[in-house]
């Protein structure tokens, strides 16, 4: 598989690499990993490529002192209001494409994670962080509102009152607080964060890939249409998983060796 040139090499602000079944997408635009045109272009390339070449899991991480200080404010200064709708529609499309990937996706936040980066974290299935990491949608500082889907995804995860609180105050919230709210799924210590986050994502990448895809599908059906919509879709989804090689091999191994069997899933 040939990767887009925008995602490889020393000059790439967003780098895509693989560790076996796990895709690793790394923000690498020091010192602040700002979202400017180059970063957004790279993200558009990345999610488009991943949608066409789905890995078994995706880990989003960053290099440097911060995850991202958010949108480069010069973007706002240079944006003609008549072009704003198309501009933000294309940025929201990045969020939606990331969210729609069929594989498990994990966002790893070791430190400051603002605006666009936080919105992309909310498009991932799972978020891991250090207790000290700080998250914020601080668009109010430029009299703006999150435009990559963060507000509604916050409301989906932590409720509308909390979503309004984060966006309207523009305050920063620690990873430990967001873990209490259920937004952050796991907390890891700073000293071992990269290793722990990678292991967390690798566990998903080496799991029953097709079953994970079905789980994502069921949750999405529920979020879009409630329990009845998920119920309507579930029998067909379960039947498709029942036909997979991983399911058949795991059932055989369970019967032979018990629940602690060591079957290696192949993602098929």
In a 3-state reduction of DSSP, which class is residue 27? strand
Domain ranges of the chain: 5-205, 209-257
CATH of 5-205, one of 3.90.226.10, 3.30.2290.10, 3.40.50.2300, 3.40.50.300: 3.90.226.10
Quick: pLDDT tens for 247-258. Answer: 999 999 999 999
Task: Compute φ and ψ for 26, nearest 5 degrees.
Answer: -120, 125
**What CA–CA distance (Å, rounded) separates 249 from 181?**
38
The burial of 229, by beta-carbon neighbours within 10 Å (0-12 exposed, 13-18 middle, 19 or more buried), is given as middle
Average pLDDT over residues 157-172: 98
**What CA–CA distance (Å, rounded) separates 201 from 105?**
8
The continuous run of DSSP H or E covering 127 comes out as strand 126-129
Quick: pLDDT tens for 88-123. Answer: 999 999 999 999 999 999 999 999 999 999 999 999
Q: How far is CA 154 from the centre of its chain?
A: 13
- What's the whole-number average pLDDT of the chain? 97
Kindly report the CA angle at 221 between 219 and 224, in degrees rounded to 5?
110
Would you say the pTM of this structure is higher than 0.85?
yes
pLDDT recorded at residue 2? 86
Q: Judge whether residue 1 has pLDDT over 80.
A: no
Average pLDDT over residues 37-53: 97
Average pLDDT over residues 44-70: 98
């Amino acid at each position: 598989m040939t990767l887009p040139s925008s995602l490889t090499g020393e000059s790439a602000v967003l780098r895509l690499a693989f560790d076996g079944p796990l895709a690793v997408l790394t923000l690498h635009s020091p010192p602040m990993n700002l979202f400017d045109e180059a970063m957004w272009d790279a993200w558009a390339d990345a999610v488009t490529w991943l949608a066409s070449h789905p890995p078994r899991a995706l880990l989003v991480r960053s290099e440097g002192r911060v995850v991202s200080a958010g949108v480069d404010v010069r973007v706002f200064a240079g944006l003609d209001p008549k072009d704003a709708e198309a501009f933000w529609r294309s940025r929201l499309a990045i969020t939606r494409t990331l969210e729609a990937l069929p594989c498990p996706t994990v966002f790893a936040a070791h430190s400051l994670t603002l605006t666009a980066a936080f919105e992309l974290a909310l498009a991932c299935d799972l978020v891991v962080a250090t207790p000290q990491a700080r998250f914020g949608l601080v668009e109010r500082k430029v009299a703006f509102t999150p435009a990559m889907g963060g507000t509604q995804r916050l409301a989906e995860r932590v409720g509308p009152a909390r979503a309004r609180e984060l966006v309207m105050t523009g305050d920063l919230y620690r990873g430990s607080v967001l873990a209490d709210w259920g937004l952050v799924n796991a907390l890891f210590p700073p000293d071992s964060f990269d290793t722990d986050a990678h292991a967390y994502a690798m566990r998903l990448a080496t799991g029953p890939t097709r079953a994970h895809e079905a789980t994502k599908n069921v949750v999405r059906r529920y979020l879009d249409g409630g329990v009845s919509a998920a119920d309507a879709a579930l029998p067909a989804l379960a039947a498709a998983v029942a036909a997979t090689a991983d399911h058949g091999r795991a059932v055989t191994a369970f019967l032979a060796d018990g629940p602690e069997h060591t079957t290696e899933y192949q993602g098929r």
